């Protein structure tokens, strides 16, 4: 009621100068422009700017527009077309100060054209390809009137039980930091004020990937050194690259929820890192401060959040309701409110919206007749990026590439699965437009094709899991079972296999299994699919597994049964074509794992750059009081950085330009890489460094650089890496970022396990 009265007041003041009037507001000078605007704003208008509202299908559009016109909403998310967003911007232009709205969305791995999930993008180790995917996503999203994305998601994940592992770029600080920078630059282009750019808001700040037990939304309790050394750098890299926004995580950090964490948002983010941008809470996170048990009621929750530095409240209920009282009573100083408002207006300014509120909305006559039109997709680019993201894990007896003349049985619940192809967080992607594995293979074969298809199994026979996965789908069930009995499905697939020269089985997870709120205790391929694989193996036909999944799976048994294994993650709109390119050898696979594959879930967390310990495991010596599991091999199934090619590569002649390095000097590490096989191909030469004896324990190795190189059959190249003091720095026990004199091992390899090593001394 009170709110309505205030709205009335706001409307009554409609004759005041408008925000973008250049006579009264010098638009060229951001600070002066915003200061001038803020002087004109009422308390309610200021609070309105801090409210970010989700536009669901059920949302009463007229009411929203009324609220916008009254100055009660600063931005919305989840409305993703020009005709949807234009009336909202029109409403903002009817508001007293005509402050433009912004329109946000989760553009994570593509907008209309879906690229591989982030874990797949990372598997390409190809910064150019990753950047292209981000730029196209920005172009498509901005053409749909979007101004800002909640991405990149750069949470380091070392626990594949966590479903959102799929959404990040893997386990490694260096690789994820490189990608964070590339993605921010790709989304924002030359500037987030460009019409074809969108602002990036890096998430989830901070440490969300380290939730306890891989259980989503759980606590994070972590030593400061680990935080600084391993988990924080990717967020920092995104911010240093100019990310305009930060989304604050749902988890707590060492006892304090991120959403009310003053240390995180003020001391670290703004003071230490110099972030000058928009901090947005995650969905409903302010309200969740009650559940965390740090706020006794909504009023306290709103107070904690704004004081800690949450500028904008996503899916707001509490800022709108509680801030007026909190400000009037003085419990929240006006300066806290003003700081938040300044950031929201600053972000809108940086998005170019004050100069032109319709920058990305355009004119109605230019709206696409069909937002899903084929002509709006970037298929060629998606196929190119997707093929680079595929990782060949096994290839015995040159099972792959397949002959196009072969008779091929294509089986498995993921062989014809257009929704799963796109992965989770598939933005505006249309399943009907995604190319399935079966379609991709049949197109590659054309008329000559001899494909026989059988589903072979459902995703799982566990009804509880199917129900859970479908409960997460708001629109329509995604996991749709073939009602026939399990054995009948398997028998049909076995019949298909028997008629064929080779079997390609698409197995793994449905996309919802690797998603928000999809934590697993079991990393196996679901049992019914394992039965299918065993039955296919028993036919004696060559067996190729095409894995689709959003996290490392424990596939030891299936790897033994299969002749070839191709990890394809969820590879996007053009996934089927890209996989066919690799299966038939039109593209030689070049992806490398950005995350370790454990042998069993009990080994988790397992990552390559673990710290040194006093009793390291000695291979081949069980029971000798060293750190090990006695019931499992103590190595990963596939190490970080691993991935095969249809050709072979060798490394030789590693050399360091010197055995010493001065603090201000540089050292050259070189190695010859040779394509010793018969096909042209690409590989990733990886440089790792180990600090042999430091003032504290240090990782056994850390990725510090890499180069993806293309070599013709028989060709060789000398690869050079420059090493300087920065590559040797780490956060010590005082959290000082230092390089300590002493011995360093330099290791170069084509994965993190098999490396050649040389040493030097930092003087």
Residues that bind ligand BGC (CB under 6 A): 106, 150, 203, 282-283, 516
Please report how many Cα atoms fall inside a 13 Å half-sphere around the Cα of residue 12, on the Cβ side. 7
With respect to ligand BGC, which residue has the nearer C-beta, 204 or 698?
204
| Catalytic residue, candidates 106, 126, 282, 420 | 282
Reported residue count of the chain is: 763
CA 575 to chain centre: 18
CB of 596 to ligand BGC, least distance (A): 24
Terminal Cα-to-Cα distance of the chain (whole angstroms) = 71
Task: Name the minimum Å distance from CB 150 to ligand BGC.
Answer: 4
Shortest CB 201 distance to ligand BGC, Å = 9
Q: Distance (Å, rounded) from C-alpha 322 to C-alpha 541?
A: 67
- Active site annotation includes 128: no
Give the whole-angstrom CA distance, residue 35 versus residue 46.
12
> Whole-number minimum distance, CB 350 to ligand BGC, in Å?
20
Cis peptide, bond prior to residue 152, ω within 30 of zero: yes
660 pairs with which residues across the strands?
A: 761
Location of structure tokens 């609220």: 67
- CB distance 97 to 45 below 8 Å: yes
Burial class (CB in 10 A: 0-12, 13-18, 19+), 362: middle
Query: Cβ of residue 250: shortest distance to ligand BGC, in angstroms?
Result: 6
Minimum CB separation of residue 87 from ligand BGC in Å reads: 22
Q: Is 563 helix (H, G, I), strand (E, B) or coil?
A: coil
| Residue 76 CB partners (closer than 8 Å, separation 6+) | 52, 53, 54, 55, 64, 85, 88, 101, 103, 104
CA distance 285 to 246: 14
d(CA 73, CA 83): 19
Taking residue 245's Cβ as centre, other Cβ atoms within 10 Å add up to 28
Q: Is the CB of 114 or the CB of 415 nearer to ligand BGC?
A: 114
Residue 636: burial class (beta carbons within 10 Å; 0-12, 13-18, 19+): buried
Closer of 51 and 203 to ligand BGC (Cβ): 203
Q: What is the CA radius of gyration of the chain?
A: 27
Q: How far apart are CA 35 and CA 702, in angstroms?
A: 46
Instruction: Indicate the residue among 80 and 502 with the shorter CB distance to ligand BGC.
Output: 80
- Nearest CA-CA partner of 544 in 393, 387, 389, 399: 399
Assess contact for 252 and 284: CB atoms under 8 A. Answer: no
Whichever of 203 and 378 has its CB closer to ligand BGC, that residue is: 203
Task: Please say which residue, 217 or 744, places its beta carbon nearer to ligand BGC.
Answer: 217
Neighbours of 736 (CB within 10 A): 10
Q: How far is the CB of 358 from ligand BGC (least distance, A)?
A: 24
CA distance 597 to 354: 48
Give the Å distances, CA to CA, from 221 to 218, 263, 612, 650.
10, 15, 21, 42
Minimal distance in Å, beta carbon 116 to ligand BGC? 18
Residue closer to ligand BGC by CB (options 208, 642) is: 208
Minimum gap (Å) between residue 538 Cβ and ligand BGC: 43
Assess contact for 673 and 709: CB atoms under 8 A. yes
364 phi and psi angles, rounded to 5 deg: -60, -35
Rounded least distance, CB 755 to ligand BGC, Å: 36
- Of 424 and 561, nearer to ligand BGC (C-beta) is 424
Nearest residue (beta carbon) to ligand BGC: 150
**Side by side, which strands form the sheet with 649-656?**
649-656, 666-675, 716-724
How many CA atoms, within 13 angstroms, populate the side-chain half-sphere of residue 48?
Answer: 28
Q: Are the C-beta atoms of residues 575 and 385 closer than 8 Å to each other?
A: no
Q: Which two tokens stand for residue 74?
A: 């600063």
Q: Which is nearer to ligand BGC, 150 or 721 (CB)?
A: 150
Nearer to ligand BGC, 282 or 420 (CB): 282
Catalytic residue positions, numbered = 282
């Amino acid at each position: 009621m009170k709110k309505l009265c205030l709205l009335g007041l706001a409307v009554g003041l409609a004759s005041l100068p408008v925000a973008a009037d250049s006579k009264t507001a010098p638009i060229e000078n951001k600070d002066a422009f915003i200061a001038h605007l803020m002087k004109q704003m009422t308390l309610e208008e200021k609070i309105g700017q801090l409210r970010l509202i989700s536009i669901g299908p059920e949302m009463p559009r007229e009411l929203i527009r009324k609220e916008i016109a009254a100055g009660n909403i600063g931005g919305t998310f989840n409305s993703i077309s020009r005709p949807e967003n234009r009336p909202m911007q029109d409403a903002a232009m009817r508001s007293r100060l005509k402050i433009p709205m912004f329109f946000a969305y989760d553009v994570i791995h593509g907008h209309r054209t879906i690229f591989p999930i982030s874990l797949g993008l990372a598997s390409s180790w190809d910064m150019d390809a990753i950047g292209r995917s981000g730029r196209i996503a920005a172009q498509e999203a901005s053409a749909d009137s979007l101004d800002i994305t909640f991405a990149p998601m750069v949470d380091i994940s070392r626990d594949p039980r966590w479903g959102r592992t799929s959404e990040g770029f893997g386990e490694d600080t260096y690789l994820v930091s490189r990608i964070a920078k590339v993605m921010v630059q790709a989304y924002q282009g030359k500037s987030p004020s460009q019409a074809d750019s969108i602002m990036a808001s890096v998430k989830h700040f901070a440490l969300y990937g380290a939730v306890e037990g891989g259980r989503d939304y759980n606590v994070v309790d972590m030593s400061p050194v680990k935080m600084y050394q391993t988990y924080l750098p990717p967020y920092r890299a995104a911010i240093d690259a100019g990310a305009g926004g930060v989304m604050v995580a749902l988890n707590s950090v060492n006892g304090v929820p991120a959403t009310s964490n003053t240390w995180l948002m003020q001391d670290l983010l703004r003071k230490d890192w110099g972030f000058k941008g928009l901090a947005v809470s995650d969905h409903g996170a302010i309200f969740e401060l009650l559940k965390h048990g740090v706020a006794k009621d909504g009023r306290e929750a709103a107070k904690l959040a704004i004081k800690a530095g949450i500028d904008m409240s996503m899916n707001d209920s509490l800022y709108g309701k509680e801030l007026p009282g909190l400000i009037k009573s003085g419990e929240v100083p006006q300066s806290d409110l003003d700081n938040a408002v300044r950031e929201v207006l600053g972000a809108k300014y940086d998005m170019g919206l004050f100069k032109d509120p319709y920058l990305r909305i355009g004119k109605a006559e230019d709206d696409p007749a069909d937002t899903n039109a084929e002509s709006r997709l970037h298929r060629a680019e998606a196929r190119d990026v997707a093929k680079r993201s595929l990782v060949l894990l096994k290839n015995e007896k040159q099972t792959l590439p397949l002959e196009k003349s072969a008779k091929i049985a294509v089986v498995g619940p993921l062989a014809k699965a257009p929704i799963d192809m796109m992965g989770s967080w598939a933005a505006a992607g249309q399943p009907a437009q995604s190319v399935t594995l079966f379609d991709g293979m049949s197109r590659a074969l054309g008329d000559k094709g001899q494909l026989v298809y059988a589903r072979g199994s459902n995703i799982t026979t566990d009804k509880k899991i199917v129900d859970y996965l479908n409960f997460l789908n708001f629109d329509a069930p995604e996991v749709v079972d073939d009602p026939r009995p399990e054995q009948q499905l398997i028998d049909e697939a076995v019949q298909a296999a028997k008629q064929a020269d080779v079997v390609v089985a698409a197995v793994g997870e449905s996309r919802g299994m690797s998603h928000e709120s999809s934590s697993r205790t079991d990393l196996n391929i679901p049992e019914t699919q394992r039965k299918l694989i065993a039955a296919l193996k028993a036919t004696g036909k060559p067996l190729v597994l095409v894995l689709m999944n959003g996290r490392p799976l424990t596939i030891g048994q299936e790897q033994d049964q299969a002749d070839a294994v191709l990890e394809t993650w969820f590879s996007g709109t053009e996934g089927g074509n890209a996989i066919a390119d690799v299966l038939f050898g039109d593209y030689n696979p070049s992806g490398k794992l950005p995350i370790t594959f454990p042998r069993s879930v009990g080994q988790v967390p397992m990552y390559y750059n673990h710290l040194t310990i006093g009793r390291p495991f000695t291979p081949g010596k069980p029971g000798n009081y060293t750190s090990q599991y006695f019931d499992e091999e103590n190595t990963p199934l596939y190490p970080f950085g691993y991935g095969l090619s249809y050709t072979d590569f060798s490394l030789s002649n590693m050399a360091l330009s010197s055995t010493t390095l001065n603090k201000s000097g540089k050292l050259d590490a070189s190695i010859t890489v040779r394509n010793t096989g018969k096909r042209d191909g690409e590989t990733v030469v990886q440089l790792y460094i180990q600090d042999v004896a430091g003032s504290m324990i240090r990782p056994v190795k850390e990725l510090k650089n890499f180069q993806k190189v293309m070599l013709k059959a028989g060709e060789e190249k000398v690869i050079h890496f420059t090493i300087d003091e920065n590559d040797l720095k780490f956060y010590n026990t005082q959290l000082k970022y230092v390089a300590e004199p002493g011995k360093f091992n330099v290791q170069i390899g084509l994965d993190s396990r098999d490396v050649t090593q040389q040493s030097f001394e930092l003087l």
